[in-house]
Structure 1
Amino acid sequence: MGCLLSAGARKDGCPLEPVIDAGGSALAVKDRAFVYRYVSPALAGLLGRPASRVVGTTDFSLYDRRRALISRREDLCVLTERRPLQCDGLVMTPDGPRWLSQRKDPVFFLDHCVGVRVCLHDTGNVEVVRLPPFVPPPDGRPAAPRPQDLPPPLEDRFEKIFRSNDTLMVITDPENGRVIDANAAFVKALGATRADLLGRTTIELGFFHSEPHRRQFVQKLLDGEGRSRHQVRFPNRHGTIVVGEVTAELIPNGTSRLLLTMVNDISRRHALMAALESQARRLESIIEGTEVGTWEWHLPTGDITLNRYWTAGLGYLLEELTPFSYDTWRAMVHPDDLPVALAALERHFRDPKVRYEAEFRMRHKSGGWVWILDRGKVVEWDHENRAVRMAGTHLDLTERKRTEERLRLSEADLMRSNADLEQFATVISHDLRQPLRMIASYAQLLERRLGPRLDSEGREFLDIIHEGAARMDQMLLSLLEYSRAGRATAPPASLDSRALVEEALHFLGPVITEAEAHIRIAGVWPLITGRRDDLVRLFQNLVGNAIKYRLPDRPPDILIQGRLTPPWWEITIDDNGRGFAPTEINSLFTLFQRLHPESGCDGFGIGLATCRRIVERHCGTIEVTSAGPGQGSRFTVRLPIGGCAKHRN
């Protein structure tokens, strides 16, 4: 297991100290540049040097080049593979060379490998091997280590790490940039063979765009920067572009040096960053296109970040409301609306599934009030499930509120006007019948008193008076029925639709018998919500109309059928009557309009207009179709199953 670091335990920006256990262990910590950042007192004593002289140096300052290079390869293996390594090492001490077992662990900080922890302390499975006492030879030169005490050859150790590592690695000549060797991961990534890569330059591989660029990169390493890195792009074996982060360092090779280059594939990270940038640009374009105000609230501090459209809606420049805080927002909200906004926020904090949404007024720079629709949600919570950051939008509703107010006033005026018209129709219908009754009464008196003395012409005049008064009285009754149709004389109730039709047919019983009409009822008849009297009158008028306008040579055949097409209940009434031309549809539902005045049928053109009024008052629709004169007609009525929404409100 690697060592884990906490962000709160750093010292001078270095996150390596918390992994140090100074309780007598001989250990040290190196950073990713292989520089010692900490040396325990026990290890300093073992090396025979003060810790201050070791910190800031590398293994090349402590060991011979061969041993230092071996240690460097071990550290590189730990960093790249991100796992511990058990190894042996020959350490020069004041008492002579000591062959010690050691363990190297990766050091992690926020999921990043930031260094190597080296421990030479016995932990139960790591034994410190002590050599016999060191006896200098007579000539004063230190004795050479025994062959069995020497580490494996550098070539063997490095070859194993180099060949088996998943990191893309390539060794080049720093003088000309040509490839000397490449590991299997590098060869596989490029889709080539090792032989194909040998001798090619890093410029050809896409690591550098020019020779001066390559030389500048290498010169940084020669100047002592230790390691250097930059990003490259090159095509892989599938033809797609790989974005890599190149890290390189110079490694000894006898009397010369080679350039070890490691490529970390960051294509996925680069693609994610590009996607995030693209998404940010799209979001910015949407905001610019819609000119919507946005805000972001950091709850622990109360600071709110706004965009320029938010401030422009209140008549300010962005600079005028920067900085902006929660307290400033509260001060700008209308006092009567502030409880509404705060209650909406509290609901969202209690249940994040309930989106924050509130309408309230805010003070404009000019001194007036602006209606605002505020929406948002918490986008970040802490570990104790407390809201940390909230973001949302800010829309100006002032014009919509003004339109709603105008519509409300218009609706109120329309309702008053309709009420006045209904009252007028009722009064007219009632008051006009009184003079008609007087005309009919005095006509009867004249007939009784002057009957024997009246000639045929006089009797004809009296019959015209009687007929006109009766017709006028019937017309006024129809007009009164039309004015009452759809009026809220009773609250809507749940009704059996089949019972409504049967009740209407019951009232039409004498007419049905006289016309020898054949009436069939089929389909679905659910419970619906409406007013009983109106709906019975609707069916009575439609069926009565089908019987009235029958053809003289055949009895009426009428089919009444119901079907469900949620949220509607649809009723069709088909007959085999007179029908009509398609050009006559528009006048069917017009008040006092009749299609067949020559038929001799009684009526004033009010029945279908009354049906339309009833259906519309129930939030439904009514239509009629016909194939032509003499081919019957079909009336289709659609009513909402659950009743009219405005009635529920």
Structure 2
Amino acid sequence: MSLKMSPAPASSKRLVLGVLLADLLAFALAAMLTYQSYQQSRAQAGLGALLMLMALVSMGLAYRSWKRQQEAIEALSKQEAKYRTVADHMFDWEYWQGADQEIIYMSPACERVTGYTPAEFIADPDLLMRIVYSEDRPVMTRHFHDIARGVREPVDFRIVRRDGEIRWITHYCQAITGDDGQSMGHRASNRDVTAAHQAQAALRASGEKLCGLYELAPLGIALTDMQGHFVEFNRAFLTICGYTEQELGTLDYWTLTPEKYAADEVRQLESLARTGRYGPYEKEYRRKDGSLVPLCLNGVLIKGADGKDYIWSIVEDITDRKRSEAVLRQKEALLRTVLDSLPVGVWVTDTKGAIQTANEAGRRIWGDARYIEPEHYGEYIGWWHDTGKLIEAQEWAAARAIKNGETSLDEVVDIQCFDGTRKTILNSAIPLRDDHGEIMGAIIVNQDITKRTAAEAALLQSNVDLEQFAYSVSHDMRQPLRTVVGHLQLLERGLSGKLDDEDRENLNFALDGARRMDEMIVSLLDYSRVGRKTESKRWMSSKEALDEALGFLAPAIEEAGAELNIGGQWPRIFASRDEMTRLFQNLIGNAVKYHEAGHAPRIEVESAVSANSWRVSVRDNGIGIDPQQIDRLFYFFSRLQSRARFEGTGMGLALCRRIVEHHGGRIRAESAGEGQGSTFIFEMPIKPPEEEARS
């Protein structure tokens, strides 16, 4: 395809050829006339020669004109080739459109921009307008009208590529007119500016976002000049200061700053001049109402568009923080008071064992204050082990808490204090965790149990001695008591016919008292045997102990016509078999024994098992118990009923309590009152203590 720059060269060529032909014909005619005239007269011959000369001159001029036209056409062809070469390799999409809307030229860049080839545009001139985005077609229509009027301003519009993608184009267009002033079409250059539009859109979004953040930020933001006059500020800054926008515009930074901060302000300005920023800096502003508001300020030095220096300041209202800090200080003071009043030593360490805080009880426990004073906080707790003042178990407890998150409670360790004394310490180490569960240190609690341990040892020895004494006394007292009973019986037989009623009654009283004393001594012997003279604890079925007790009670149950219901889950327990049998025998036997005459006993025995404990209840419909007297039930020789109504020594429930406590449990009684029946409940662990510690 060649550029049709102008139709003038072809018509000029035809004109020059016509002139040359006419000149040749005139020359031939002149030559013929000259020859004829020469034959007739010399005057006519001269005229013919003149005509021949004029024809030759005309032919020369016509040839010269034709030669120049050829040179112009050749130059124009070279210019066309040069333009085409440049246009074909331009990044922008170029095209020429004639007056009748036909496409004269379309650069190859159109395919990169639109997805359509030059041949498609040339074959379908309307394609140019069809690819314009529908909303932008009125814009382009007005643009072409403006071009026709000589306007050369570029316009941006959108096109729809062949693949459906929408791209932005900047359209530069110039109208072309001929020598006669008539329109010959226009030349257009199109540049793909999609990336620029996208960048501008992103910039606008970012600007809107920044503007929103500036206006809606919870922090006050203000721009001041170097003299402190306010240039810009956001809503939060107005809220902090309490002024309106118009009022603050007439004030400066120094109006809001109390005089007591003058020296601090000088230092902040020096920092601003030296580093280009100041803060964080805490101070107060004086609000419009005269109140002071605590603030934290940060600022940066900037260069304005006018070349002057300005200061951007970020202002945070820290009223709530100051209030929280005051509350925290109060709580810390309260905590310190509580810690210092505790009778136990409390140590808090970080993950490396460095002491973070401690209380005064450590002074009394360790006999030295060096490592509980604040100036020594941060020192490694390993000094305990390094100096040999504490056995390794102490350090292990803290290490286990920090490294493994393990809680160690009530470990008994012996230590040698700084003052040389030896003490027994009840030591506990608990991991200290943050809100996310991560270990951040340990809390170590030391309790001096030296005196308590000594007292417990003495008490234990005293109890052993008392039990041995009670057993020995009870055992030894039975022999003379049996002698007394035997001689009283001999007297009764020997004097059977000689005693009057009063003497016989007195003798019976003596025999009855001796027998009851023997029963009481036997009860004391049974009580003292618990844990000493009974079977050792072992794993056993709790139901077997119950069945054995019911076997012993079978005659009494049958005689009383008692109704017995047994339910629940009966687990395996770690206990003494004969003690458990005696426990059931006493509790169920009491339920059978203590009932109203004419009413058959109804007894419910229920067993329940939880995670690590066993609970048994024995409920009856018997005589009941006055709630105010329940606490007396488990004392030695305690009786709530007269012997004339119910026989007994008053040691049965005391023995039950002794058995339950020997197994690490507890027992209690419940009753709504006399005649309302009663319930006896005991609970004890299923596992032995050493297994509980391991689990």
Q: Please give the TM-score of this superposition, normalised by the length of structure 1.
A: 0.53
1:34-45 equivalent positions in 2, closer than 5 A: none
Between the aligned partners of 1:273 and 1:289, the Cα distance in structure 2 is 24
Structure 1 window deviating more from structure 2 (596-605 vs 528-537): it is: 596-605
* Distance change (3 Å), C-alpha of 1:416 and 1:598: closer
- Is the Cα–Cα contact under 8 Å of residues 491 and 531 in structure 1 kept in the other structure? yes
1:148-547 equivalent positions in 2, closer than 5 A: 171-172=223-224, 174=226, 177-180=228-231, 182=232, 186=234, 190=238, 196=245, 200-201=249-250, 203=252, 208-209=257-258, 227=276, 229=278, 231=281, 243-249=296-302, 251=304, 253=306, 258-264=308-314, 282-283=331-332, 286-287=335-336, 289-291=338-340, 309=360, 314-315=367-368, 329-330=384-385, 332-334=387-389, 337-344=390-397, 347=400, 351=404, 353=406, 359=413, 361-365=415-419, 367-369=420-422, 397-398=447-448, 400-430=449-479, 432-434=481-483, 436-437=485-486, 440=489, 446=494, 455=497, 457=499, 469=511, 472-473=514-515, 475-477=517-519, 479-485=521-527, 486-488=530-532, 489-515=534-560, 517-527=561-571, 528-547=573-592
Aligned residues: 454
Residue 279 of structure 1: how far off its partner (Å)? 5.1
What secondary structure, in the 3-state scheme, does the structure 1 residue paired with 2:249 have? coil
Q: Does 1:574 align with 2:625?
A: no
What secondary structure, in the 3-state scheme, does the structure 2 residue paired with 1:627 have? coil
- Is the Cα–Cα contact under 8 Å of residues 371 and 396 in structure 1 kept in the other structure? no
* Distance change (3 Å), C-alpha of 1:481 and 1:465: same
Q: Does 1:620 align with 2:666?
A: yes
Between the aligned partners of 2:640 and 2:464, the Cα distance in structure 1 is 32
Residue 306 of structure 1: how far off its partner (Å)? 8.3
Between the aligned partners of 2:271 and 2:692, the Cα distance in structure 1 is 86
* Distance change (3 Å), C-alpha of 1:259 and 1:211: farther
- Is the Cα–Cα contact under 8 Å of residues 257 and 284 in structure 2 kept in the other structure? no
Residue 200 of structure 1: how far off its partner (Å)? 0.7
- Is the Cα–Cα contact under 8 Å of residues 608 and 615 in structure 2 kept in the other structure? yes
- Is the Cα–Cα contact under 8 Å of residues 229 and 245 in structure 1 kept in the other structure? yes
Residue 426 of structure 1: how far off its partner (Å)? 2.6
Between the aligned partners of 1:582 and 1:376, the Cα distance in structure 2 is 44
- Is the Cα–Cα contact under 8 Å of residues 172 and 179 in structure 1 kept in the other structure? yes
What secondary structure, in the 3-state scheme, does the structure 2 residue paired with 1:508 have? helix
Between the aligned partners of 2:593 and 2:522, the Cα distance in structure 1 is 21
- Is the Cα–Cα contact under 8 Å of residues 362 and 372 in structure 1 kept in the other structure? no
Structure 2 residues not aligned, in runs of 5+: 1-199, 215-219, 434-438
* Distance change (3 Å), C-alpha of 1:533 and 1:461: farther
2:680 is matched with 636
Residue 549 of structure 1: how far off its partner (Å)? 4.4
The aligned amino acid for 1:422 is Y
The aligned amino acid for 1:537 is R
Deviations 1:197-227 (A, max 9, x none): 597145379764479969x879969997584
1:107-118 equivalent positions in 2, closer than 5 A: none
Between the aligned partners of 2:325 and 2:684, the Cα distance in structure 1 is 48
Between the aligned partners of 2:562 and 2:632, the Cα distance in structure 1 is 28
Residue 409 of structure 1: how far off its partner (Å)? 1.7
Between the aligned partners of 2:314 and 2:443, the Cα distance in structure 1 is 41
The aligned amino acid for 2:418 is H
What secondary structure, in the 3-state scheme, does the structure 2 residue paired with 1:639 have? strand
Between the aligned partners of 1:634 and 1:258, the Cα distance in structure 2 is 96
- Is the Cα–Cα contact under 8 Å of residues 351 and 402 in structure 2 kept in the other structure? no
* Distance change (3 Å), C-alpha of 1:345 and 1:395: closer
Q: Give the RMSD, CA atoms, in angstroms.
A: 5.7
Residue 421 of structure 1: how far off its partner (Å)? 0.8
Between the aligned partners of 2:374 and 2:235, the Cα distance in structure 1 is 60
Larger Rg: 2
Percent of pairs identical after alignment?
15
Between the aligned partners of 1:492 and 1:211, the Cα distance in structure 2 is 80
Residue 259 of structure 1: how far off its partner (Å)? 4.7
* Distance change (3 Å), C-alpha of 1:610 and 1:428: same
Between the aligned partners of 1:223 and 1:465, the Cα distance in structure 2 is 115
The aligned amino acid for 2:582 is R
Deviations 1:387-441 (A, max 9, x none): xx9966776644x322222222222212221222123213323553355346546
Between the aligned partners of 2:272 and 2:556, the Cα distance in structure 1 is 115
Residue 524 of structure 1: how far off its partner (Å)? 1.9
Greater helix percent: which structure? Answer: 2
- Is the Cα–Cα contact under 8 Å of residues 595 and 601 in structure 2 kept in the other structure? no
* Distance change (3 Å), C-alpha of 1:568 and 1:202: farther
Structure 1 window deviating more from structure 2 (584-593 vs 424-433): it is: 584-593
What secondary structure, in the 3-state scheme, does the structure 2 residue paired with 1:491 have? coil
- Is the Cα–Cα contact under 8 Å of residues 341 and 358 in structure 1 kept in the other structure? no
- Is the Cα–Cα contact under 8 Å of residues 626 and 632 in structure 1 kept in the other structure? yes
What secondary structure, in the 3-state scheme, does the structure 1 residue paired with 2:252 have? helix
The aligned amino acid for 1:571 is S
Considering Cα pairs closer than 8 Å and 6+ residues apart, tell me whether 1 or 2 has the greater RCO. Answer: 1
- Is the Cα–Cα contact under 8 Å of residues 431 and 443 in structure 2 kept in the other structure? no
The aligned amino acid for 1:560 is E
Between the aligned partners of 1:600 and 1:281, the Cα distance in structure 2 is 67
Between the aligned partners of 1:418 and 1:374, the Cα distance in structure 2 is 32
What secondary structure, in the 3-state scheme, does the structure 2 residue paired with 1:570 have? strand
